[in-house]
Amino acid sequence: LISHLQMGNYMKRPKHSLSDELYDKISKGYRLSLELLERGVLNDNNFTSDSLLSQLLIACYENDVDRLKSMLENLNLDVNSISWRKMSLLHIAVLCEKSEIVKSLLEKEADVHQIDWASFTPLHLASYFGFTEIVRLLLLFSSNPNSLTGVQDTPLHLAALKGHYETVELLLSKPELCVVWPNQEKSTVFHYCAQFGHLEIMKLLLDDVQRYDIISACVHEGNLYGDTPLHNACYSNQFEIVKLLISRSGFDCLSKENMFSETPLHAACTAGKSVDLIGYLLKQPGVNVNCQGRDGHTPLHSACYNGHLKVVKFLLDQGADMDISANSQILRKFKYANNGVFGDSDVDFENTAKGPISVVSQTPIAWAYEQGKQMLFEICGKINFFHFIKGFDNIVNLLKDVKRSEYSRSSASECSYNSLNDYASVTLPSPMGKLKSVTKEKAEVLQLRNLLGNQYHIQMSDIDLQESVGSGSFGKVYKCVLNNRTVAVKRYRSWSVGSKSDVKMFCREVSIMSRLNHPNILQFIGACLDDPSQFALVTEFAQDGSLFSALHEEKRFFDAEFKFSICFDVASAMNYLHKRSYPIIHRDLNPHNILLKGNRALVADFGESRFVDSRDTDMTRQPGNLRWMAPEIFLQSGSYTTKADVFSYALCMWEIYTGDIPFVHLKPATAAAEMAYRNNRPLLSDAIPVKIQSLINKAWHSSVQYRPEFSVIMNELMGTKEQNKEDAASLPVEGDSTSNSQSEDSAVLLSISRFNDLLKLVDKNGYVVDPSQSVSGHRPEN
């Protein structure tokens, strides 16, 4: 509602009238009837189950007058019998343009006022198809020229709609005919002629009403939408009709506004079909290129909103002011009365469910942006939808260039370098927030804002930034407070300096994370989407940092139980991603993107993630960190599957158990090449349990089909854990006489257990704590 109020009624303007849609369906219906008749489908239930009536229909279609008369006289059949779709014999004869049959039926007193499925009388049908001779016959037999269809159209409406000059001329010869009758949409025959460009018929009609000195009344009359015939002609680019109407009715018609606050000049700019027509209108007395409708919008607004670049350029050349704002006349209340159709309505901007609302004045550049957004919402999901909004980007850029040129012509005292630089990024008001007109990536952002639930929309002003806890090419991560809750805020670089990939990554990450809910995936809280310079992702805060930082920067030691816990948590999260109804490939799984929070590991950073069935053009490009990248991605061998994540997971497992970086002596690209081209893998040391080694070997297998699913990995991890418990329980106590016969495996397990106990004697920085203290069974606090 607010979106509509901010642009008046303009956004509600229908692309087609009710009559357009109705007569399109009616035409198809009659074509189907003719097709069935031509195919001879008269003896089945399509038309009638009455065999005698079928014979009558055949006689009508074959123009067999003698047979028709004989059957009606000898068999005592009803001349007004109804067949398929409520069509009488007279309707069928008219539809087939059988004049002799029509005359015979009329002589047999066929009902000329019978209506069919389309609420057409035979006269309507003949007028619609322009069968002038049949129209003459029907009028001769007292057909009513003012009879009405279901939408209150007369035969004259239909003849004018279809452009049948002789039929119109014949109908006008009837003195009882009402030429100015309005239909249900309050459209007269003048509206139809103007819309479809029937110039000669328009002249004929104007000559007819001139006798009664009512030309001005006919031309100035508005329909349901407030459109005069001149509006219709301008919307449809009927140049000759426009000139005729103005010459016959005067210049007052040029100032008439419809319910969308559009004069005929606005209408021509909305259509954007002819610069010549717009130029002609601008030459007429009283027409101003900057004229404003009731809602304040100008012809330039209309052209911008509809993406007509040539018209925008022409209007600017004619002196159009791009700083005029629409809605300048709307202060606190917006009242509209659409000819009583929608009634009167007051909207109080001070007292709404969400508090007071400020009505934003919008310049033409804002309307160019706004329609780009609306177009996106309408065609979201269509292939190559960016093609449809490209024109609006061009208009935005054109208007910005014009404004910058104006600034450059200003004196130095009036415009400093900084102010000129600031204006290069024009702020565009929008009902859903304010976005700057850097339109390359607005489509993704607008789609995201439309689809994301209101509970996830967060204002940057509500966030208390405390300290930076990380950074990357995307921007920085901050520890913050939101509603008394500690959160992490990932702030992306300003759109004005960020690349295309930055914005796409942000949109993708927000879109994916908002759909996820798993204890081992970083919880999504919301996003800041209003201002491109403050794009931000808000998540839960993992106070213990990343796995990479813990292993290689803080040099923390993890006991076997916690190592296992991290591996299992990550596998659980990845299994959740891969087993969704629409599986997700992370594509950048590495220790940087595994966060620690207490005794949990959390998978994070979904900027490179994709749905498995994604059609993104960059699915075959190299995402993420090269050092942990699967060979099939590095080699860019084509599409890949969730098994790419399994490979990265294997390297993470190796890193967790060894505490080393894979191929630390090599640069990331060289490390990836080593694994992809030479099929080398990091060495499996004795520090890794045998069963974990076996699992790692499977997970980083060069053949994708041999890598296990994460559900299998979880099962094997659990099996390893249970086996370790059994082995530990079978170890003899100290001093037992059987200790000399313990197996070699038990000795190894005991050594590992004691080694892990020793690790508990050091703090997170690797320093020995008080040796006199007993070692607890829990891992040290991080």
In three-state form (DSSP H/G/I as H, E/B as E, the rest C), the secondary structure along 8-34 is CCHHHCCCCCHHHHHHHHHHHHHHHHH
User: Is residue 548 scored above 60 in pLDDT?
Assistant: yes
Q: 183-203: per-residue pLDDT in tens?
A: 988 999 999 999 999 999 999
Q: Which two tokens stand for residue 401?
A: 């260039």
How high is the pLDDT of residue 688?
A: 92
C-alpha of 387 from chain center? 13
How high is the pLDDT of residue 134?
A: 95
Q: What distances in angstroms separate CA 238 from CA 193, 199, 276, 277, 535, one per listed residue?
A: 10, 9, 11, 9, 47
**What average pLDDT does range 344-373 have in this prediction?**
53
Q: Of 427, 383, 381, which Cα lies nearest the Cα of 403?
A: 427
Q: What distances in angstroms separate CA 244 from CA 201, 218, 252, 283, one per listed residue?
A: 12, 13, 14, 15
User: Is residue 388 scored above 70 in pLDDT?
Assistant: no
**E-assigned strands of 473-622?**
475-482, 485-492, 524-528, 536-540, 584-585, 594-597, 600-603, 610-611
User: Is residue 528 scored above 50 in pLDDT?
Assistant: yes
**E-assigned strands of 219-258?**
none
Residue 781 DSSP class: P
Q: Where are the domains of the chain?
A: 18-184, 186-323, 365-437, 452-540, 547-727
**Three-state SS at 214:** coil
Q: 435-476: per-residue pLDDT in tens?
A: 333 444 566 677 777 778 788 899 988 999 999 888 766 778
**What average pLDDT does range 71-97 have in this prediction?**
84
Q: Please tell me whether 490 is known to bind a ligand.
A: yes
* C-alpha–C-alpha distance, residues 57 and 698, integer Å: 79
How high is the pLDDT of residue 549?
A: 94
* C-alpha–C-alpha distance, residues 26 and 437, integer Å: 45
**Three-state SS at 717:** helix
Instruction: State the chain's mean pLDDT as an integer.
Output: 78
Q: Of 593, 591, 596, 627, which Cα lies nearest the Cα of 608?
A: 593
Q: What pLDDT band is residue 361 in, cutting at 50, 70 and 90?
A: low
> Which amino acid would we find at residue 132?
T
Rounded to 5°, the CA angle 714-716-720 comes to 115
Q: Which of 63-72, 296-305, 658-667 has the lowest average pLDDT?
A: 63-72
User: Is residue 241 scored above 90 in pLDDT?
Assistant: yes
How high is the pLDDT of residue 371?
A: 58
Which residue(s) pair with 595 in the sheet?
546, 602
How high is the pLDDT of residue 454?
A: 82
How high is the pLDDT of residue 659?
A: 93
**What average pLDDT does range 235-247 have in this prediction?**
94
* C-alpha–C-alpha distance, residues 229 and 195, integer Å: 7
Sorted by sequence, the CB contacts under 8 Å of residue 667 that are 6+ apart come out as none
Q: 596-628: per-residue pLDDT in tens?
A: 999 999 999 988 888 886 555 445 455 678 999
* C-alpha–C-alpha distance, residues 254 and 634, integer Å: 66
Note the helical H segments in 345-385.
364-379
Sorted by sequence, the CB contacts under 8 Å of residue 225 that are 6+ apart come out as 13, 14, 17, 185, 258, 259, 260
Q: Which two tokens stand for residue 355?
A: 């508090």
* C-alpha–C-alpha distance, residues 64 and 67, integer Å: 6
Q: 501-522: per-residue pLDDT in tens?
A: 567 788 888 989 999 999 999 9
Domain 186-323 matches domain 452-540 at the CATH topology level: no
**Three-state SS at 579:** coil
Q: Which two tokens stand for residue 280?
A: 């002609």
Q: What distances in angstroms separate CA 551 from CA 213, 563, 614, 666, 782, one per listed residue?
A: 94, 11, 34, 18, 12
Q: Which CATH class is domain 547-727?
A: mainly alpha
Residue 588 annotated to the active site: yes
Whether the Cβ atoms of residue 558 and residue 547 lie closer than 8 Å to each other: no
> Which region holds residue 598: left if phi is over 0, alpha if psi is between -120 and 50, else beta?
left
CATH placement of domain 18-184:
1.25.40.20
How high is the pLDDT of residue 638?
A: 64
Q: 64, 295, 588, 605: which is the annotated catalytic residue?
A: 588
Sorted by sequence, the CB contacts under 8 Å of residue 235 that are 6+ apart come out as 195, 227, 267, 268, 270, 271
> Which region holds residue 351: left if phi is over 0, alpha if psi is between -120 and 50, else beta?
beta
Q: Which of 75-89, 300-314, 552-566 has the lowest average pLDDT?
A: 75-89
Q: What pLDDT band is residue 342 in, cutting at 50, 70 and 90?
A: very low
Asked if CATH classification 3.30.200.20 holds for the domain at 452-540, the reply, yes or no, is yes
Q: 138-172: per-residue pLDDT in tens?
A: 999 999 999 999 889 999 999 999 999 999 999 99
Sorted by sequence, the CB contacts under 8 Å of residue 486 that are 6+ apart come out as 479, 480, 541, 543
Whether the Cβ atoms of residue 566 and residue 594 lie closer than 8 Å to each other: yes
C-alpha of 712 from chain center? 39
Complete DSSP assignment for 261-283: S--HHHHHHHH---HHHHHHHHT
Q: Which of 65-79, 528-542, 584-598 has the lowest average pLDDT?
A: 65-79
Fold classification of 186-323 is 1.25.40
